[in-house]
C-alpha cells in the first residue's frame, strides 16, 4: 500500500500555548532531535514512503531550534500552511498514494500506524481520526480519493469534518506538548526509557548520553540521568544533574549548575549561575515552578551562540588574544618590580635585616587576613547543598 504523510507545524487556532520563545515546541530539541524529526523517523520505520513537512517561514528560519531535515524528505516553507497542505495532498493523490496521514504537531504519540491504517481499511472510512479520552490528537488518515473531504478538513484546520469520521480510540503514550513543562517531562521520559524515543548519541556511562564532539572540562560533573548534545561544552566546576539536557553546541560556563532543566541548542549559560526546574534558550527562561517565561537581556547570563562553527572559533580566538597581551604586560612589570622595599643603611649588613623583614611581612599578612575574614556567627551554622545522590 502506498502511504504518505503530511506533518503540519503551526500553533493551534486560537493560540493556546505549544510555543516557547515564540517558536512551536515541535521544533525544540529533545535529546538530539526535534519532535518533527522524531516523528519522521517513526513514520519511516512503518514504511511511509514520503513525508512532507509544512512549516511557516518565521518558524523554520529559527536555526537555534530546528536541525536540517534529511534530504529524502520534503521540506516546505509557506505562509499559508493549510492551503499548502491541500496542494500537497493533491500531488500525493496524483502520484499514486492510497492513504495520506495528516498530523499537526502538536502532541507526541506512539500510535502504531499499521493498526491505524488497518482500522481505516476495515471500516472503509473516508476519514479516520485519532483521539483519546481527553479529546482529539490532531492525527487523521484520509483516503487519497476523497479530495473534497480533505479540502474541507484543511480549510477548518483539522477541527471539523465534511462527513462523520471513524474514531480510532488510542490509549498509548501521549504528551500533548502544550507548555515548556511538557517538554521537560518528555525529556525525562526519554532519559528514563519510558518511551520509544532514544537519545541521539552514545551512552558514555549508565544514564549519561553524549553526542559527538562533547567537551567536559576537568572538574565538571555530569550526574545521571543526563544528556549532552553534539558539540556541547561543559566548563570547569559546572554540574549537570537530575535529568537535565544540554542541546547541541550549547555552552555551560564555569561553576554553573544545571539542575532538572533543559538548555536548548546554541545557548550560552553564564558563569556561577544555578538553573533549577526551567527551560532556557534563545535568551528566554521559563521557570516551571513559577509558570513564567521571561526574556533575559543581559548576555552574560543567557545568550545565543552563533550557528556558524567558524564564527564560534573566531569568538574564542578574540577572547584568547584579548587575554594573552594583558598577562604578558603583567609579567613584564612583575619582573621589573623590586624584590624588597627595605633600604639598607650604611654600615649594617643585609643579613641583619632579614629577620626584621620577615616579621614585618608576617604581620601585614595577618592583618590582611583578619580584615578579609567574614563576621563570626553567634551560633554554629552548617550549609549542605545536595545534587543527585551526593551531599
CATH classification of the domain holding 254: 2.160.10
What CATH code is carried by the domain that includes residue 27?
Answer: 3.90.550.10
Taking residues 192-209, what's their average pLDDT? 96
Indicate the angle between helix axes 81-94 and 147-155, nearest 10 degrees: 170
If asked whether residues 216 and 157 sit together in one domain, one would say: no
Bridge pairing between strands 221-222 and 284-287: unpaired
Q: Taking the CA atoms of 90, 91, 93 and 98 in sequence, report the sign of the dihedral they define.
A: negative
If asked whether residues 124 and 212 sit together in one domain, one would say: no
Highest mean pLDDT among 51-65, 77-91, 139-153, 322-336: 139-153
Domain boundary among 116, 146, 175: 175
Please report whether residue 150 resides in a domain.
yes
If asked whether residues 171 and 199 sit together in one domain, one would say: no
Please report whether residue 183 resides in a domain.
no
Question: What is the domain extent for residue 106?
Answer: 3-175
Question: Do residues 8 and 96 lie in contact, with contact meaning Cβ atoms separated by under 8 Å?
Answer: no
Give the pLDDT band (50/70/90) at residue 334: low
Taking residues 81-104, what's their average pLDDT? 94
Portion of the chain with pLDDT greater than 90, in percent: 65
The beta strands (E) that lie in 188-277 are given as 202-205, 208-210, 215-216, 221-222, 226-228, 233-234, 239-241, 244-246, 251-252, 257-259, 262-263, 267-269, 274-276
If asked whether residues 10 and 101 sit together in one domain, one would say: yes
SS3 127: strand
Question: Do residues 257 and 273 lie in contact, with contact meaning Cβ atoms separated by under 8 Å?
Answer: yes
Question: Do residues 258 and 225 lie in contact, with contact meaning Cβ atoms separated by under 8 Å?
Answer: no
Ramachandran angles phi, psi of 183, nearest 5°: -60, -45
Domain boundary among 257, 276, 304: 304
Is the model's pTM score more than 0.85? no
If asked whether residues 50 and 170 sit together in one domain, one would say: yes
Give the pLDDT band (50/70/90) at residue 56: confident
If asked whether residues 26 and 116 sit together in one domain, one would say: yes
Rounded to whole angstroms, how far apart are CA atoms 113 and 141?
Answer: 10
If asked whether residues 121 and 71 sit together in one domain, one would say: yes
* pLDDT score for 364: 73
Q: Which of 69-73, 96-100, 339-343 has the lowest mean pLDDT?
A: 339-343
DSSP 111: -
Q: Which of 20, 105, 19, 16 is nearest to 282 (CA)?
A: 20
Please report whether residue 349 resides in a domain.
no
Condensed to tens digits (0 to 9), the pLDDT of residues 267-287 reads 999 999 999 999 999 899 999
Domain boundary among 144, 175, 206: 175
**Number of structural domains, the chain?**
2
Amino acid at each position: 500500500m502506498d502511504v504518505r504523510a503530511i506533518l503540519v507545524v503551526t500553533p493551534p487556532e486560537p493560540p493556546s500555548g505549544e510555543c516557547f520563545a515564540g517558536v512551536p515546541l515541535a521544533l525544540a530539541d529533545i535529546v538530539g532531535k526535534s519532535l518533527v524529526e522524531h516523528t519522521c523517523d517513526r513514520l519511516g520505520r512503518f514504511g511511509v514512503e514520503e513525508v512532507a513537512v509544512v512549516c511557516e517561514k518565521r518558524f523554520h528560519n529559527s536555526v537555534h531550534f530546528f536541525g536540517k531535515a534529511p534530504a529524502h524528505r520534503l521540506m516546505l516553507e509557506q505562509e499559508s500552511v493549510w492551503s499548502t497542505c491541500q496542494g500537497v495532498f493533491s500531488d500525493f493523490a496524483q502520484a499514486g498514494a492510497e492513504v495520506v496521514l495528516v498530523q499537526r504537531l502538536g502532541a507526541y504519540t506512539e500510535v502504531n500506524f499499521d493498526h491505524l491504517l488497518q482500522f481505516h481499511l476495515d471500516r472503509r472510512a473516508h476519514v479516520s481520526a485519532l483521539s483519546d479520552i481527553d479529546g482529539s490528537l490532531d492525527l487523521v488518515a484520509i483516503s487519497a480519493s476523497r479530495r473534497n473531504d480533505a479540502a474541507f478538513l484543511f480549510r477548518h484546520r483539522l477541527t471539523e469534518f465534511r462527513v462523520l469520521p471513524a474514531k480510532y480510540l488510542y490509549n498509548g503514550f501521549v504528551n500533548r506538548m502544550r507548555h515548556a513543562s511538557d517538554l521537560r517531562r518528555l525529556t525525562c521520559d526519554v532519559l528514563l526509557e519510558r518511551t520509544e524515543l532514544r537519545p541521539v548519541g552514545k551512552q558514555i556511562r549508565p544514564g549519561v548520553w553524549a553526542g559527538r564532539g562533547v567537551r567536559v572540562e576537568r572538574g565538571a560533573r555530569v550526574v545521571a540521568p543526563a544528556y549532552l548534545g553534539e558539540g556541547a561544552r561543559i566548563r570547569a566546576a559546572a554540574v549537570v544533574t537530575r535529568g537535565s539536557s544540554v542541546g547541541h553546541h550549547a555552552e555551560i560556563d564555569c561553576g554553573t549548575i544545571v539542575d532538572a532543566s533543559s538548555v536548548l541548542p546554541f545557548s550560552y549559560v553564564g558563569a556561577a549561575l544555578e538553573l533549577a526546574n526551567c527551560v532556557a534558550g534563545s535568551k528566554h527562561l521559563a521557570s516551571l515552578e513559577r509558570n513564567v517565561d521571561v526574556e533575559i537581556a543581559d548576555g552574560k547570563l543567557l545568550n545565543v551562540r552563533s550557528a556558524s562553527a567558524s564564527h564560534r572559533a573566531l569568538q574564542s580566538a578574540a577572547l584568547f588574544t584579548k587575554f594573552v597581551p594583558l598577562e604578558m604586560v603583567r609579567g613584564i612589570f612583575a619582573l621589573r618590580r623590586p624584590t624588597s622595599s627595605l633600604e639598607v643603611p650604611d654600615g649594617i649588613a643585609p643579613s641583619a635585616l632579614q629577620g626584621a623583614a620577615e616579621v614585618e611581612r608576617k604581620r601585614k599578612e595577618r592583618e590582611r587576613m583578619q580584615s578579609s575574614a567574614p563576621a563570626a556567627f553567634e551560633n554554629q551554622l552548617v550549609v549542605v547543598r545536595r545534587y543527585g545522590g551526593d551531599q
